[in-house]
């Protein structure tokens, strides 16, 4: 299934450009994170993908979920749905890399909230495909990953979370992210904010992207 998307092409016309793929949160759409493209490197092609499941009250979702999944701190019962969504995303990403003639060795993924959970799954279990992984204000739990947290090594990750987040409380994810930090190049920023990307968060993210640029 081809996902709807928005694209801002790189200003680099002499060679294959790097890319940043974006995955929005639950109930949102492709326009949401795409508003950040003006702050991201002009040398990169930015592609914001829209989730495949249309919600009855508007917006889209990457997989079915209810709040109990987060509160119970487990995504085990969503494992099959999540993997189906992942397969679709991988196919779409590969198509865009070919169609836009992108550098397959410089692919970054960025997701917020539920899109960040997808970002964790893609970035960890398919790490050979992605150079940088940027999950923001998102849920992570070993129940939907293929390997033990200690088996993921050497990955370039920036993650952030609001200490006042009531949608996905930081207490549910902090220990897993800190565990991943032991074997990966992982920056985990905490901000006195709710379930959002604050201005300070955005500045920190832009700085990290600049310092990890090729």
Number of domains in the chain: 1
Q: Is the pTM of this model over 0.85?
A: yes
CA distance 191 to 84: 33
Report phi then psi at 162, rounded to 5. -85, 135
Determine the 3-state secondary structure of 82 from DSSP: helix
Q: Give the pLDDT confidence of 148-194 residue by residue, as tens digits.
A: 999 999 999 999 999 999 999 999 999 999 999 999 999 999 999 99
Give the span between the Cα atoms of 202 and 191, in whole angstroms: 11
Report the distance separating Cα 137 and Cα 143, nearest Å.
18
Distance of CA 151 to the CA centre of its chain: 20
| CB neighbour class for 30 (10 Å; exposed up to 12, middle 13-18, buried from 19) | buried
**In the prediction, which pLDDT does 60 show?**
95
| Residue 63's CATH number | 3.40.50.1820
Find out whether 114 and 26 touch, Cβ atoms under 8 Å. yes
- Domain limits for position 32: 5-211
């Amino acid at each position: 299934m081809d996902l709807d998307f928005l694209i801002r092409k790189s200003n680099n016309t002499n060679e294959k450009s790097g890319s940043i793929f974006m995955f929005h949160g639950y109930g949102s759409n492709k326009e949401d994170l795409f508003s950040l493209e003006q702050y991201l490197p002009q040398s990169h092609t930015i592609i914001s993908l829209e989730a495949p499941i249309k919600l009855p009250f508007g917006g889209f979702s990457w997989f079915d979920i209810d709040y109990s999944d987060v509160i119970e701190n487990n995504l085990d019962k969503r494992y099959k749905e999540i993997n189906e969504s992942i397969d679709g995303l991988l196919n779409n990403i590969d198509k865009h890399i070919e169609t836009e003639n992108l550098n397959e060795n410089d692919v970054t993924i960025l997701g917020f909230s539920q899109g960040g959970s997808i970002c964790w799954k893609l970035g960890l279990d398919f790490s050979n495909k992605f150079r940088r992984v940027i999950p923001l204000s998102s849920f992570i739990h070993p129940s939907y990953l293929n390997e033990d947290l200690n088996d993921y090594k050497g990955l370039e990750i920036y993650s952030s979370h609001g200490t006042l987040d009531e949608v996905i409380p930081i207490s549910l994810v902090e220990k897993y992210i800190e565990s991943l930090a032991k074997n990966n190049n992982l920056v985990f920023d905490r901000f006195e904010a709710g379930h959002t990307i604050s201005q300070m968060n955005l500045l920190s993210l832009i700085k990290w992207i600049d310092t990890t640029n090729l």
